[in-house]
Amino acid sequence: MTASACEVVLSEPEFRLYQSLFSDRLGIHLPDQKLTLVGTRLWKRLRARGINSYTDYYHLINQPDQQEELCRALELITTNETYFFREPLHFEFLKDTILPELKHKDTVRVWSAACSSGEELFSIAMVLADQRIGKWELLGSDINQSMLEKARRAIYLDQRTEHMPLEYRRRFCRRGTGPHHGSLRIEPDLRSRIKLQNIELHQPLPDIGSFDLVFLRNVMIYFDNATRQNVVQQIVNHIHNGGYLFVGHSESLRGVCSGLVQVQPAIYQVQK
């Protein structure tokens, strides 16, 4: 549905309400040019809830007991485009360069800091399991609880696995049958090794320890400059000296945080 097809148009004053709400509650920056997109996408939830006013929907999702509805709104206005082994050069660098450096460690710790529905998370897990590096721990976090539930179920449509190596598909996935035909599920042992946690990156981080590498890909586009600097600095504080930070190829950390040296496109090494 296009914006012109909406029975109710999101006004600028109403858009300001959503800008403040998503900034204050979620750290998400909605630039002015997103007004039409926000109105078009949220209209789906207004219709689903039988609400005829963006102001009324704003008051609904601003209620403390409407966290689930707030997450639905967040899903609609952010792009959760993800698939297995997205940006494959990152996974090659992980396998060929980083993990050989870490084989001497008792435990390798990795964090997928905006794991969405889990495709990135399980891509990392497959590489870790394949390389037989010994003990490893993998944390996946997201601001959106419904995305974490999808990661917990670990059921994915076949088209999201097109970039997954065939060997990994045979070893780590089970093909769906009957009503689940056309999908697959990550095998139980790999699922059991993943920890999932709801973490709001723009808030002080919980006690999650330190990591050898962190994936923070395709999430900083939703933050303003001040929030971006705060988020990256917090995460760098949780990376061991010499560890790595991965970002999206459309993102840059130039001038965002000190103590980072770019070693590959969208890959930085921490030098404290």
Whole-angstrom distance, CA of residue 101 vs CA of residue 167: 24
Whether 132 sits among the annotated catalytic residues: the reply is: no
Closest CA to 31 of 19, 39, 42: 19
Whether 212 sits among the annotated catalytic residues: the reply is: no
Catalytic-labelled residue, pool 41, 86, 109, 217? 41
- The label of the residue with tokens 């750290």 reads 27
Does residue 246 contact residue 215 with C-beta atoms inside 8 Å? yes
Catalytic-labelled residue, pool 86, 142, 212, 228? 142
With b for 16 or more beta-carbon neighbours within 10 A and e for fewer, the 3-26 pattern comes to: eeebebebeeebbebbbebbbebb
With b for 16 or more beta-carbon neighbours within 10 A and e for fewer, the 160-169 pattern comes to: bbeebbeebb
Cα–chain-centroid distance for residue 133?
A: 25
Amino acid in position 52? N
- The count of other CB atoms within 10 Å of the CB of residue 226 is 10
Whole-angstrom distance, CA of residue 47 vs CA of residue 54: 11
- The count of other CB atoms within 10 Å of the CB of residue 171 is 13
Q: Strands 194-198 and 135-142, how do they pair? A: parallel
Whole-angstrom distance, CA of residue 224 vs CA of residue 226: 6
Q: Strands 211-216 and 107-112, how do they pair? A: parallel
Positions annotated as catalytic residues are 41, 142
